[in-house]
Structure 1
Amino acid sequence: MEQALEFGKADATSQIGRVLIAEIDAYLKDLYPDSIGLCYRASPEEINTNGIFFLATLDGNAVGCGALKRTKFDEIELKRFYLRPEARGKGLAKKMLAILEAEALAMGFETIFLETGPPQIEAVALYEGAGYERCGPFGGYPDNPLSIFMEKRLVDELSQSNGSAA
């Protein structure tokens, strides 16, 4: 029986929002133990102030989250995208990513950006498979060998899915 994924807007400062964000931080600390100062985190408060937080539940249990955050240059950035290990490998990340992209487009953004890193092999594969392309630093980030910057033109994808020319 297929499990029911729900992915909707939530408060990043809620107890479960803070728990999931703490799990992301612990995961990143394991991946980047000597470079934790170079991880570009957004606090729950920062997300609520400058963006939108989404909570993923599977049959009523919190399994992940994601956020859209405005940069200081009024771009939209994917942040805090995370699935608990037990929820991975089920296609949920693709569904969550598509919902966040649709939300960014509905907010009036033509392009969505993200920053990840070389140790996050699965994340890079997910993003590339979803049509993200590598780009240079955005949003005021410094160029850094531990960063992979990516972007996706949402308007191009929308016009392709509608069968019209861009």
Structure 2
Amino acid sequence: MTLTLAPPQSPADLDAVRRLCWDYRRHLADVSPIEAELTETFYPVPKYRQLMDTLAQTHARPTGFILLAKLNGAPVGCGMTHALSPDTSEIKRIYVDPVARGQGVAARIVTELMAQARLDGFARAVLDTSKNLHPARALYASLGFAECGPYQDIPAIALPHLVFFEAPL
């Protein structure tokens, strides 16, 4: 097994990241009825399509970063960051295809994103996840993230269903 992590190097790589992000959206909608409702409310297809169309700009260097994980050359995971403030980097859309889960891919993605954010001068990384995504919550805790309050404005309907994390860089 050969796992590589790198920013997208070609249009095909960026398309692979987009496909993984769409898989992530479908995964969230399948977790439970509330996640399905929240996904459709906050990321309806037209809005998510626009987000995917501007992914490279939203997460562009030098304040953002996109990683594509490949296992034996096949795209299996992704994650990205963008600046929330001069000292805070937000980690977004950590997703690993089911065929590659349990092999440490997500931990490697998060670790690399944190390392790049640190190199870019950020002092803190933040992220949020669904309360129902227990493996994700355990992963973030194992990587040194601590639960915190919301770090940006979140609609009240979503607050009871999310967990917010932060970690010093």
TM-score, length-scaled by structure 2: 0.80
CA distance in 2, matches of 1:34, 1:64: 24
TM superposition shift of 1:39? 6.1
Can you give the 5+ residue segments of structure 2 that lack an aligned partner in the other structure? 60-64
The alignment yields a C-alpha RMSD, in angstroms, of: 2.2
Query: Over residues 8-67 of structure 1, what are the superposed CA-to-partner deviations in whole Å (9 max), with x where a residue is unaligned?
Result: 111797321221111001001112123222469792344322322110001101110000
- 2:163 maps to 148
**C-alpha distance 56-83 of structure 1, shift in aligned 2 (>3 A):** same
The answer as to whether partners of 1:63 and 1:83 remain within 8 angstroms in 2 is yes
- Residues 60-139 of structure 1 correspond to what in structure 2 (within 5 A)? 60-71=73-84, 73-74=85-86, 75-139=88-152
TM superposition shift of 1:142? 4.2
The answer as to whether partners of 1:11 and 1:48 remain within 8 angstroms in 2 is no
Equivalent position amino acid for 2:4 in 1: E
The answer as to whether partners of 2:77 and 2:105 remain within 8 angstroms in 1 is no
> SS of the counterpart of 1:35?
helix
> SS of the counterpart of 1:22?
helix
Query: Over residues 114-146 of structure 1, what are the superposed CA-to-partner deviations in whole Å (9 max), with x where a residue is unaligned?
Result: 010111110000001111001111133346111
The answer as to whether partners of 2:79 and 2:93 remain within 8 angstroms in 1 is yes
1:50 aligns with 2:48: no
Q: How many residues align?
A: 151
